[in-house]
Copies of this chain bind each other. A is one copy, B any other.
Amino acid sequence: MGEFELIQKHFLPLAGSVSNGALVLGPGDDCAIQRIPAGHDLVFSIDTMVEGIHFPASYPPEYLAWRALAAAASDLAAMGAAPACFTLALTLPAADDDWLTGFARGLADASHIFRLALAGGDTTRGPLSLSVQVHGTVAEGRGLRRSGARAGDLICVSGTLGDAGAALDYLEEAQPTDDMAQVLERYHHPSPRLELGESLSGLATAAIDISDGLMADLGHILEASGAGATIDQALIPLSPALSRLKGARAVDYALHAGDDYELCVTVPEAIWQVASDAIRSQMTVIGTVNQDAGLHIKDSPGHTDRPTTGFDHFRSKA
């Protein structure tokens, strides 16, 4: 079997396996065709992962596929968009049947869970890297942006933060403890907050997904909104596993480490008070937007200013 046929064998079964009505024409022609529901806009984002930069060498292909689709889908969640479809640009040193089997399995799992239909792609030879572009839809004018935060808004984050960053310390662990296994699972199988994001459309004033760390990503909201913020370090949600593993340093992972793919949003207090239980149960209020420039962290016992730069690994959303 030639390389072309090998790739076809693994990817063609994915075409059409997610039926969400988005695609008029799927893989196999010069272009794919997507129909956007009336009164809705297309929402889209592209993300690249390079071996040795965004994932370790010899990283299991199932995890790689899942993480790449999850990272891209998380940008849809941050816009409040409903998932539709994705394209995959995959560059491989060689067409290896075992590797492709694992990769296709991870991609199939993620595309079903995230309700993203494979629309097309391009597979080329070269050093291992992949770019995923995700497409979603949102009612006209309802996309959540980074720029809408206003003084007085509450700052809320979903889930718990820092686990995926801490997992980097345990990737080589031969016999991980239960706590290590829990944070490793957060790194290998992140869950983008797609449903939560959709439910926040029309409620949140600004939103971003936490891919580069809370400080960096909240900093992007504040910069885009021309606002400042104070957050209370003691309120930042941490998993019990992370707290046990890292003790007093756990909060530093939550503040500065990336790859969690939780949401950070700003919500007017009056709206937060009447938000559904589903929303309130998934989110924690950690601070308030204010008019002063800068991001202040209320530490116990006093106030400390921390830098707002996260780990940026030469990434630029153009």
Name the distance in Å between A178's Cβ and chain B's nearest Cβ. Answer: 34
Residue of B with least CB distance to A313:
B125
Pairwise interchain contact A121-B317, C-beta atoms closer than 8 A: yes
Give CA–CA (A118, B35) in the complex, Å.
22
Name the distance in Å between A89's Cβ and chain B's nearest Cβ. Answer: 4
Give CA–CA (A76, B135) in the complex, Å.
18
The segment out of A126-134, A163-171, A234-242, A269-277 that lies at the interface is A126-134
Pairwise interchain contact A31-B127, C-beta atoms closer than 8 A: no
A245 at the interface (CB under 8 A from B): no
Contact for A129 among B52, B91, B143, CB less than 8 A = B91
Name the distance in Å between A65's Cβ and chain B's nearest Cβ. Answer: 13
Pairwise interchain contact B48-A89, C-beta atoms closer than 8 A: yes
Name the distance in Å between A96's Cβ and chain B's nearest Cβ. Answer: 13
- Chain A interface residue count, CB cutoff 8 Å, equals 77
Contact residues, A30-71 vs B (CB, 8 A): 30-36, 38, 41-54
Pairwise interchain contact A4-B79, C-beta atoms closer than 8 A: no
Pairwise interchain contact A318-B27, C-beta atoms closer than 8 A: yes
Residue of B with least CB distance to A77:
B30
A315 at the interface (CB under 8 A from B): yes
Q: A32-B44, A45-B30 are in contact. Are A314 and B224 (CB under 8 A)?
A: no
Extra contacts, 17 of them, besides A46-B122, A50-B127, A129-B129 (Cβ < 8 A), are: A3-B314, A15-B318, A24-B143, A25-B145, A30-B75, A32-B45, A33-B138, A33-B143, A36-B41, A38-B38, A44-B87, A46-B87, A53-B124, A87-B133, A123-B315, A126-B127, A133-B133
